[in-house]
């Protein structure tokens, strides 16, 4: 496998969704369910079959195996799946990530990952405090986090991500800063720091609506975000996306494919693909997914969307605005055929006047204030195409489904 090359943009990404978790975390709205052991062999066969059926004849640059919790699979099933993925993906892959829960990454499974070519591991740490983990209904204990990182290093991983969450009910600024400090002390190569979201239909949202949890104060949450930027910058991490921070050479290439609105193949139940201008989402039911691959009539695809050129341009703009470098004007024109300065003239006038966006000779990017109000900026950019054709505006949600979260 080639070394990670942050400048390479040749090839597509593959995303593989494994839906099983030991239990459901209260805030999670990704497709996941308690592990059904009897389905695992069929699921592995179905995923391998889907890749074989659908893989485009294009080099594969990144692989991201997420979920769910991929490391919930027994070692022999994980081995079978990863062997097949690696064989079909070929030698052009520069980054191969697998998501793991700190409590399910055994030495045996970590050895399987390394042996099959996985070179990046992403742990869903979320917090170093039991009170926070209890609110989130995570199954791991804070002590599992350093243990799992140690085990990953022993297995040979030199590229380790931790996901952390701020804005948890009851979390103080001091506790958030302490979680950041511990993640830094562990020598983590990459940190994804997301604010807690109250997604429709989750247990946490129900608890909030019932008054059983009190959401974090908005101004405290904004202060936590600003503290994150400053603390991680002082520790040598480069913020390259609103919520993502990396040591030099350690940006997540798989996620950069989403944020640049480039092509990817998604396989497994609920996975989203974006190929040849068509976005499609697989069926959100592991039994139906397995049955489809075994020849049952249920349709694999439950949503598909072919964007108009202008809708695609707007979607590309809001994805690229997430990047700290912003919208590369030359790249944007080459990818979409539109000049962003004229396409988003009204949105730019409004957001630059408000100090949320700045225009450089080469890029359009969020200011520091704009980072705090990015949703407002993105709505302004989307309104440019909604005004043009209200029925064809892209949905930001649809393209951010597969970003790291386990």
Nearer to ligand SF4, 69 or 228 (CB): 69
Terminal alpha carbon distance of the chain? 25
Are 84 and 48 in contact by the 8 Å Cβ rule? The answer is yes
Query: Which contiguous run of DSSP H or E holds residue 120?
Result: strand 120-126
Nearer to ligand SF4, 21 or 183 (CB): 21
Minimum CB–partner distance for residue 245 and ligand SF4 (Å): 20
Minimum CB–partner distance for residue 227 and ligand SF4 (Å): 24
Nearer to ligand SF4, 25 or 229 (CB): 25
Nearer to ligand SF4, 199 or 303 (CB): 199
Nearer to ligand SF4, 23 or 306 (CB): 23
Nearer to ligand SF4, 62 or 122 (CB): 122
Beta bridge partner(s), residue 327 = 364
Closest by CA position to 76, among listed 49, 103, 115, 50? 115
Residue whose entry in the numeric block shows the structure tokens 């080639």: 2
Side-by-side strand order, sheet with 327-328:
327-328, 363-366, 357-359
Minimum CB–partner distance for residue 124 and ligand SF4 (Å): 5
Dist. CA 395–CA 256, nearest whole Å: 18
The packing angle between helices 218-234 and 173-185, to 10°, is: 30
Minimum CB–partner distance for residue 281 and ligand SF4 (Å): 17
For 260, the token pair is 């640049």
Minimum CB–partner distance for residue 27 and ligand SF4 (Å): 7
Minimum CB–partner distance for residue 68 and ligand SF4 (Å): 5
Nearer to ligand SF4, 13 or 124 (CB): 124
Q: How many residues does the chain have?
A: 406
The packing angle between helices 309-321 and 329-336, to 10°, is: 150
Nearer to ligand SF4, 24 or 287 (CB): 24
Minimum CB–partner distance for residue 26 and ligand SF4 (Å): 9
**What is the sign of the dihedral through the CA atoms of 123, 283, 34 and 109?**
negative
Torsion (CA) 221, 223, 227, 228 in degrees, nearest 10: 30
Report the interface residues with ligand SF4, using CB under 6 A. 21, 24-25, 28, 30, 32, 67-69, 101, 124, 405-406
Give residue number: closest CB to ligand SF4: 28
128 CB-near residues (< 8 Å, 6+ apart): 142, 145, 178, 179, 182, 183
Dist. CA 248–CA 239, nearest whole Å: 10
Minimum CB–partner distance for residue 77 and ligand SF4 (Å): 17
Minimum CB–partner distance for residue 192 and ligand SF4 (Å): 13
Dist. CA 137–CA 26, nearest whole Å: 5
For 217, the token pair is 């104060």
Nearer to ligand SF4, 268 or 394 (CB): 268
């Amino acid at each position: 496998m080639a070394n990670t090359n942050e400048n390479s943009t040749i090839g597509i990404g593959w995303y593989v969704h494994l839906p099983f978790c030991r239990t459901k975390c209260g805030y999670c709205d990704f497709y996941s369910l308690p592990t059904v052991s009897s389905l695992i062999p069929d699921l592995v066969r179905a995923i391998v079959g889907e890749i074989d059926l659908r893989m485009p004849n294009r080099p594969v640059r990144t692989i991201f195996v997420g979920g769910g919790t991929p490391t919930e699979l027994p070692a022999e099933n994980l081995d079978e799946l990863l062997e097949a993925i690696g064989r079909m993906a070929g030698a052009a892959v520069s980054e191969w990530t697998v998501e793991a829960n700190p409590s399910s990454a055994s030495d045996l499974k970590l050895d399987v990952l390394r042996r099959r070519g996985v070179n990046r591991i992403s742990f869903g740490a979320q917090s170093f405090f039991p009170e926070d983990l209890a609110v989130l209904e995570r199954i791991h204990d804070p002590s599992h986090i350093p243990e799992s990182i140690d085990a990953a290093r022993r297995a040979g991983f030199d590229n380790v991500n931790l996901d952390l969450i701020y804005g948890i009910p009851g979390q103080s600024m001091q506790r958030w800063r302490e979680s950041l400090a511990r993640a830094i002390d562990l020598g983590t190569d990459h940190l994804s720091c997301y604010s807690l979201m109250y997604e429709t239909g989750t247990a946490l949202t129900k608890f909030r609506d019932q008054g059983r949890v009190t959401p974090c104060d908005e101004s405290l949450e904004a202060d936590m975000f600003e503290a994150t930027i400053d603390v991680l910058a002082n520790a040598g991490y480069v913020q390259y996306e609103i919520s993502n921070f990396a040591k030099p050479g350690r940006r997540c290439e798989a996620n950069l494919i989403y944020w640049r609105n480039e092509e990817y193949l998604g396989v497994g139940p609920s996975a989203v693909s974006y190929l040849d201008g068509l976005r499609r989402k697989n069926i959100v039911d592991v039994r139906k997914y397995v049955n489809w691959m075994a020849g049952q009539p249920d349709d694999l695809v439950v949503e598909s969307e072919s964007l108009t050129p202008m809708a695609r341009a707007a979607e590309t703009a809001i994805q690229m605005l997430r990047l700290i470098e912003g919208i590369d004007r030359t790249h944007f024109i080459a990818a979409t055929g539109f000049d962003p300065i004229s396409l988003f003239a009204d949105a730019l006038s409004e957001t630059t006047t408000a100090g949320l966006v700045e225009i450089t000779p080469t890029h359009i990017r969020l200011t520091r204030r704009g980072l705090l109000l990015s949703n407002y900026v993105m709505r302004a950019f989307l309104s440019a195409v909604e005004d043009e054709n209200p029925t064809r505006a892209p949905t930001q949600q649809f393209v951010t489904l597969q970003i790291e979260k386990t």
